[in-house]
């Protein structure tokens, strides 16, 4: 399989295939085209043929030409395809690993660990390391360590200091989202998302408390962070907390469901209620209205996680690495300044 073969099957130019595979930014092709190319790459186990250049430059030896393999564990979501944040994160890991002559041989979720099928496939496939995507409990990591020694964790939560980790601080990102709503004059702010052991809920509460604002239980919709959860949560707030003027959703997927529910309830966004999320998944900018959100550097997180894991596999470092990446606000049209009562 060559890039020319991939281009022919994907019905694109060879140059487009090259730019996508070599990760030349997110705007080289549409998401549909990128997904089509990577589906072919994954199915055919294509490996970029850059080793001849490395051999000529003396940066790699003949014995290192065989590709290595790593894995991804979706620690929080059983269906990665339904969660754009984690699917985009895994894609970034896969792209960077491929450029370093490693293939993403297997992906699994925490539930698969319970019956042992995931670890059997891991050890049988000879994977040298695993990237853990999202918050992971002690028992899950313990199960992984029985078969795989090299681990790198990536997400919005901090992990134990003995593990390599790439983090964007989810609590501070959540506080930034809530503080933005407060800067627009909103004081009665709801929360939609998981509340138990969820760092984003902690960020919401801390921001409200620090600004001496009410955090009534009726303002909180404790639901799964999903399209369905967002819809149910918004409906609950409409019924139980109709005085709120803004909502912070724990992630963009939840916000999408919430926005649909608010519209179905006859509310206009942002005229009647402002909505903000966290993640800045690709589809967030194409919503109506475009979603205001906290941009998490998903692509960079995946790239650095792959680099750090493979460096550990190759013996490049032994001291655990903690890399913290910055976030920023993407102000779009789903939030508006609160108008004083009595004014249209």
Residue extents of the structural domains in the chain? 3-168+297-327, 170-295
User: What are the distances in angstroms from CA 170 to CA 24, 154, 158, 294?
Assistant: 27, 12, 9, 10
pLDDT tens digits, one per residue of 161-209: 999 999 999 999 999 999 999 999 999 999 999 999 899 999 999 999 9
Same CATH topology for 3-168+297-327 and 170-295: the answer is: yes
Task: Check residue 45 and give its pLDDT.
Answer: 66
- Taking 90 as the threshold, does the pLDDT of residue 35 lie above it? no
**CATH T-level topology, domain 170-295:** Rossmann fold (3.40.50)
User: What are the distances in angstroms from CA 233 to CA 145, 223, 240, 316?
Assistant: 37, 6, 10, 46
> How do the residues of the chain divide into helix, strand and coil, expressed in percent and rounded to 5?
45, 15, 35
Task: Check residue 76 and give its pLDDT.
Answer: 75
Q: How confident is the model at residue 124 (pLDDT cuts 50, 70, 90)?
A: low
Q: How confident is the model at residue 43 (pLDDT cuts 50, 70, 90)?
A: confident
Task: Check residue 195 and give its pLDDT.
Answer: 94
Q: How confident is the model at residue 293 (pLDDT cuts 50, 70, 90)?
A: very high
Q: Which strand ranges, in their side-by-side order, compose the sheet holding 68-74? A: 102-109, 68-74, 129-133, 150-155, 164-167, 322-324
Share of the chain above pLDDT 70, in %: 84
Task: Check residue 344 and give its pLDDT.
Answer: 46
Q: What is the sign, positive or negative, of the torsion defined by CA atoms of 111, 115, 117, 123?
A: positive
- Taking 70 as the threshold, does the pLDDT of residue 323 lie above it? yes
- Judge if the upstream peptide bond of residue 289 is cis by omega within 30 degrees of 0: yes
Task: Check residue 78 and give its pLDDT.
Answer: 64
Task: Check residue 299 and give its pLDDT.
Answer: 94
- Domain at 3-168+297-327: CATH architecture: 3-Layer(aba) Sandwich (3.40)
Q: For 41-49, what is the mean pLDDT?
A: 69
Question: CB–CB of 96/22 below 8 Å?
Answer: no
Q: How confident is the model at residue 63 (pLDDT cuts 50, 70, 90)?
A: very low
Task: Check residue 3 and give its pLDDT.
Answer: 86
pLDDT tens digits, one per residue of 214-244: 889 999 999 999 999 999 999 999 999 999 9
Task: Check residue 152 and give its pLDDT.
Answer: 96
């Amino acid at each position: 399989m060559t890039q020319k073969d991939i281009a022919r099957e994907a019905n694109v130019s060879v140059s487009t295939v090259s730019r996508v595979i070599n990760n030349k930014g997110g705007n080289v092709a549409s998401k549909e085209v990128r997904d089509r190319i990577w589906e072919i790459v994954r199915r055919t186990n294509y490996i970029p043929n850059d080793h001849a250049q490395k051999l000529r430059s003396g940066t790699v030896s003949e014995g290192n030409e065989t590709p290595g393999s790593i894995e991804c564990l979706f620690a929080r979501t059983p269906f990665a395809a339904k969660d754009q944040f984690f699917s985009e994160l895994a894609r970034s890991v896969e792209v960077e690993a491929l450029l370093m002559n490693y293939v993403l041989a297997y992906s699994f979720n925490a539930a698969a660990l319970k019956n042992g099928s995931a670890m059997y496939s891991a050890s049988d496939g000879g994977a040298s390391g695993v990237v853990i995507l999202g918050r992971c409990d002690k028992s899950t990591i313990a199960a992984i360590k029985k078969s795989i020694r090299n681990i790198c964790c990536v997400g919005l939560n901090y992990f134990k200091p003995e593990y390599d980790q790439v983090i964007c601080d989810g609590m501070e990102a959540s506080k930034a989202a809530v503080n933005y709503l407060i800067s627009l004059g909103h004081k009665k702010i709801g929360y939609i998302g998981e509340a138990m052991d969820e760092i984003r809920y902690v960020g919401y509460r801390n921001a409200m408390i620090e600004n001496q604002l009410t955090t009534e239980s009726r303002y909180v919709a404790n639901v799964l962070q999903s399209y369905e959860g967002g819809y149910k949560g918004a409906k609950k707030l409409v019924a139980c907390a109709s005085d709120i003027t803004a909502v912070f959703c724990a992630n963009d997927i939840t916000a999408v469901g919430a926005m649909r529910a608010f519209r179905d309830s006859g509310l206009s966004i942002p005229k009647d209620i402002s909505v903000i999320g966290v993640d800045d998944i690709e589809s967030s900018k194409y919503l109506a209205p475009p979603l205001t959100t906290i941009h998490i550097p998903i692509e960079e997180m995946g790239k650095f996680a792959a680099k750090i894991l493979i460096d550990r596999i190759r013996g490049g470092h032994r001291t655990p690495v903690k890399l913290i990446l910055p976030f920023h606000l993407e102000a779009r049209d789903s939030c508006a300044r609160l108008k004083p009562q009595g004014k249209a």
